[in-house]
Structure 1
Amino acid sequence: MDIALLIILVFGLFILLSSFFTVKQQTAVIIERFGKYLSIRQSGLHLKIPLMDRIAGRVNLKIQQLDVIIETKTKDNVFVKLKVSVQFMVVKETVYDAFYKLEYPHDQITSYVFDVVRAEVPKLKLDDVFERKDDIAIAVKRELNEAMTTYGYTIINTLVTDIDPDIQVKNAMNRINAADREKTVAEFEAEASRIRIVAKAKAEAESKRLQGQGIADQRREIARGLVESVDVLNRVGINSQEASALIVVTQHYDTLQAIGADSNSNLILLPNSPQAGSEMLNNMVASFSASNQVGEMMKKGNRKKERQDSKESTMDTDRYLEPEDPQDTEKEE
């Protein structure tokens, strides 16, 4: 009797404990009675009739993700692998449909993803597949929503997370990109070289301009100094030719002294014999003499023109013109 009572107590305790069950958060439980649908229980503590009611299944109400890898061909005959991530969930109000209408939801979703991707990608070239992957994801989501809503599922989002072309195509694309970048680098280097050449040419032109301006200013000041020196010498009774000769000889010896005083100057060989100075002086005197003759001839030509154009009397003309040299008159005749 004690053993039978113990067995009854244990059996009664088992029956009592099996009458209670708990449902986790974001989970739905399907209860069947004698194999027939009875109810859907949400999260919390629940009671069922032992030996009559049973838990037929549990449905996950969380957002789930399914990764699908598809291999297909693009419009330009390039085989490519795409990884599509589908995020989906079961709606609380449609738990019955999700449990009883569809046995393998993952297989169903995979089939629809294959169908949509293999219908969209062959319309695009490989470059367009990379640029329009969001359009592919939107097309997959739209098709899945239309199909899976009937079964109690809703599609949260679809993402094309990876596009992997054939290894040979990938290497060719890398070579194309590398060549394009090398072309861009060459163009920038050529432009930089051109800018450097133009800037250098401008700098040289400006340097030459300033150098020429400096030389012109220097010569102008030298000429002004020579004029002043000749004027000073004229005032003390030295004529222009003698003054010019004296200045040239002085500058000649000043130059020799300056070259000898500078220890870092390059060696310049100049004729420095006694005849060199005499020859230089004679050349200068001859040059000034020729210059004076040219000037006198120009003056005579001007006077002759004035005499021809003058409408005044001969007496008035003789009054304003200087008396001519007998030698000049013979030359004119």
Structure 2
Amino acid sequence: MAWNEPGGGNNKGPNDPWGGGNQGPPDLDEALKKLQEKLGGMFGGGSSSRGGGSGGFPWAAMVIVAVVGLLLWGLLGFYQVDQQERAVVLRFGKYHDTRQPGLRWNPPGIDEVIKINTTKVRASTLSETMLTQDENIVEVKLSLQYVIDDPTRFVLKVRDPERSLQHAAQSALRHVVGGTSMDLVLTEGRAKIGIDVKQRLQEYLNLYETGILVSTVNVDDSKPPSQVEAAFNDVIKAREDEERVKNEAQAYANAVVPEARGQAQRQVEEASAYKEQVIANAEGEADRFNKLLTEYQKAPEVTRERLYLDAVQGVYTNTSKVMVDVEGGNNMMYLPLDKLAEQSQSRSAGGATIDSATLRELTNQVTEQLRRDAAAAGSSSRRGGR
């Protein structure tokens, strides 16, 4: 016999959980009726008939259901706004409030809460093919980073703010690249292009009231289209060769020009030194002449003889051989000054170097020899006359 089968009679079987002899399992309809009767008594409702007849309206059950539903509805209205988020509240579809971080409550079904992360850095990329200022085609890849600065505008002002961001970025990029030459787009001008695109893009986004703040704009790559890449590489190579030749020429100029300037400066300085030397010599000669004139006016004979001796000394200093024309005959007298100087200065090193004393001695010897020759020529002429 199963545990839930009637035990028969009034005997309570050991396996009967209901504790009754001939009592079966509880009737659910009867249990609900008993509960309704108790609740009806508590809230003043009518009692239902035990015989299953028609009773009053189940107000108590509806109140309980309403209370439970109200509690559930109230609990569903609680939500948490994280520190990096802001909550935009719409009441019946109309903007109501923007909630700060913390535990918040809004009536469910009446208010719509849209949470927006305002600290997350979002990224977007785009690639465009466009014309430059000099009518060349380039392909530019751009990447940008942005955050949501105004969640209210981001949610309510524009239907799809991020798509608007893409369109605005394309427009700004085309505007900036269209005003730049191809060389700058492909080389050192990419950083400036990124700055200009960021500024113009932010102006567009502020005008559209998207609530987006652009933080960074980078030009990742810029190159000519693949159809003309080979020709463009040839142009780049030619430009590099041109730059190399310019650098070589500049290096040569840097080596030659300073040397030429140095030589020119040296010649200028030599000319200036020569000028000062000539002026100084002229002034010295003029001063010496004035002093000599003063001495000549005091003693003309002595001064004249001294000048003669100085002139002879100057002539003999520059020569080592002297030819003397003897009066009264057809012969020339040869004076080997170098030999005479060697005899008088046997210990001196070098060639025929004649000082003032030696020259004076040689002059005296020559003068004495000339006198003797003149005397001899005079005596012979007197004898011939006799």
Q: Under a length normalisation based on structure 1, what TM-score does the superposition of the two structures give?
A: 0.49
Q: Find the structure with the greater CA-based Rg.
A: 2
The structure showing larger relative contact order (alpha-carbon pairs under 8 Å, at least 6 residues apart) is 1
